[in-house]
Amino acid sequence: MKLRNLIAAALLFSAFSPFAGAEDMNTRIYGYINGYWEDVDDQPTLTNTGADATSKNPSEFQVPNVHLIVQSKMDQFKTYLNVYGTESDALVVNNAWVESDLHGDYLKFRIGKLYRPFGLYNEILDAVPTYIGIEPPELFDGDHLMLTRTTNAMLHGRAEMGPGFLNYALTTGNDERESSQTPYGMDVNYTIDTRWKIGSSYYNSGGYAKSLASIGTSGKSGSFGAVLPWMSEDKFSVFGGYLQYRDDHWTFQVATYAASHDATRDSAAVTSICSNAKMSTASRARFGCGGTINTNGDYDVKTSYTRLGYTFITERGNLTPYAQFDMYENKETVLDKSWGGDNEAGLADDGKFSKATLGLFYQPTYAVALKSDYSQHLQKVNGRDQNYGEVRFSFSYFWRLQ
3-state secondary structure the chain: CCHHHHHHHHHHHHHCCCCCCHHHCEEEEEEEEEEEEEEECCEEEECCCCCEEEECCCCEEEEEEEEEEEEEEECCEEEEEEEEECCCCCEEEEEEEEEEEEECECEEEEEEEEECCCCCCCCCCCCHHHCCCCCCCHHHCCCCCCCCCEEEEEEEEEEEECCEEEEEEEEECCCCECCCCCCEEEEEEEEECCCEEEEEEEEECCCCECCCCEEECCEEECCCCCCCCCEEEEEEEEEEEEEEEECCCEEEEEEEEEEEEEEEECHHHHHHHHHHCCCCHHHHHHHCCCCCCCCECCEEEEEEEEEEEECEEECCEEEEEEEEEEEEEECCCCCCHHHCCCCCHHHCCCCEEEEEEEEEEEEEECCEEEEEEEEEEEEEECCEEEEEEEEEEEEEEEEECC
Residue 364 backbone class (left: φ over 0; alpha: ψ -120 to 50; beta: rest): alpha
Residue 196 burial (CB count, 10 A) = 16
CATH number of 97-400: 2.40.160
pLDDT in tens, the chain (402 residues): 444 444 444 444 444 444 445 457 899 999 999 999 999 888 888 876 666 777 777 888 887 688 999 999 999 999 999 999 877 777 889 999 999 999 999 999 999 999 999 999 999 998 888 899 999 999 998 888 999 999 999 999 999 999 999 999 999 999 999 999 999 999 999 999 999 999 999 999 999 999 988 776 667 666 678 999 999 999 999 999 999 999 999 999 999 999 999 999 999 999 999 998 888 888 999 999 989 999 999 999 999 999 999 999 999 999 999 999 999 999 999 988 888 888 889 889 999 999 999 999 999 999 999 999 999 999 998 888 989 999 999 999 999 986
Q: What is the pLDDT of residue 25?
A: 87
Domain ranges of the chain: 97-400
Longest distance between any two alpha carbons in the chain, whole Å: 71
Q: Say how far apart CA 215 and CA 269 lie, in whole Å.
A: 6
